[in-house]
Structure 1
């Protein structure tokens, strides 16, 4: 509720542009929950503090603005720097980057669009788009479309529910926890599988080295 109170104060001071600013910050700092900010914007519109149309336009503009910043952060990192970083990480391989790049080349536009509906990833998906230098116009189009749909659902829901806007936060909170739990499980599975694979590869390499040493042993 501290976040809610702060968001309300920003929107009261700045109106619809304040809602856009909050959503731009939410893109850059995912712990700021859009499931709080967007319904609150709708609730504020229902109270006559700002217009519903303005809330939709400004929150979508804020989403796009935040995504652009993350896109250019990804572009500044670049493929070469990313590959150097991955090469130093013990559980990752350059082949992982190659597979990810190949996947993004085939499905990048869908990832940018549908990623806007997934908590945390709705912000982070902009970074690989920048790394891969997705065409900027295409990135803007799919970001705007996905963000407009996501924002409209929550702003309108907050407008309709009025003072009961917090029901949305509770419902989406469950969805967010499920997504985060799935990501955590996938990460654990990946780490365990990669550690086991590395151990098998080291054991096989040791066995081969011993075999070669015995083959060349003159005794």
Structure 2
């Protein structure tokens, strides 16, 4: 992880863009480390807080579009064949597919805020050829919310950012559980509403 920290410290917004784009393009780079570190740099006035948020979110969109295109044009067999070179396997696809098949297009929004799922969620959207407008809107809003939370946490923790990086994952899993419950509740209300019509 020290190389990741060094890269962001030395190259600022450019490093944030590259890393966050790669993360959304199915490269397992932990944004829960990158964006808090960006918050730390913003606290130190080495980069701007809002520029870091904008750059990180745009980078997520760029990476997501690439992953969507791969899913759309290459399909699952292509991804499984070549994904192994970047650590992507059938289990990752199955997890993202499960979310997408169960909750539909709203998965793109909620999935942006769930560790592991956020990295691969664009692929099943591409497989399903989700409408581009909805894909972009859900990706933009979900990524912005996640990035803002991570950036703000790093900014507030400033001197303790490394402690945060080491201990953030258990909390992100709690957050993931809360998101799953929220999605299920939304889905059940929607289904019950349709049943009454």
Normalising to structure 2: TM-score of the pair?
0.71
Change (3 A) 1:123 1:31: closer
The alignment status of 1:166 with 2:162, answered yes or no, reads yes
- Give the secondary-structure state (helix, strand or coil) at the position aligned to 1:113: helix
Preserved CA contact (<8 Å) 2:115 2:173: no
The correspondence for 1:57, drawn from 54, 57, 81, is 54
Flag the 1:154–1:104 CA change in 2: closer, same or farther, 3 A: closer
Q: Which residue of 2 aligns with 1:42?
A: 39
The answer for the alignment partner of 1:138 in structure 2 is 134
Measure, in 2, the Cα distance between the counterparts of 1:65 and 1:104.
20
1:28 aligns with 2:25: yes
SS in 1 for 2:104: helix
1:1-219 equivalences in 2 (<5 Å): 1-11=2-12, 16-78=13-75, 104=100, 107-175=103-171
1:168-213 deviation per Cα after TM superposition (whole angstroms, max 9, x unaligned):
222322356789xxxxxxxxxxxxxxxxxxxxxxxxxxxxxxxxxx
TM-score (ref. length: structure 1): 0.64
Q: Which runs of 5+ in 2 are unaligned?
A: 82-89, 176-197
Unaligned regions of 5+ residues in structure 1, if any?
86-91, 180-219
| Number of residue pairs the alignment of both structures matches | 160
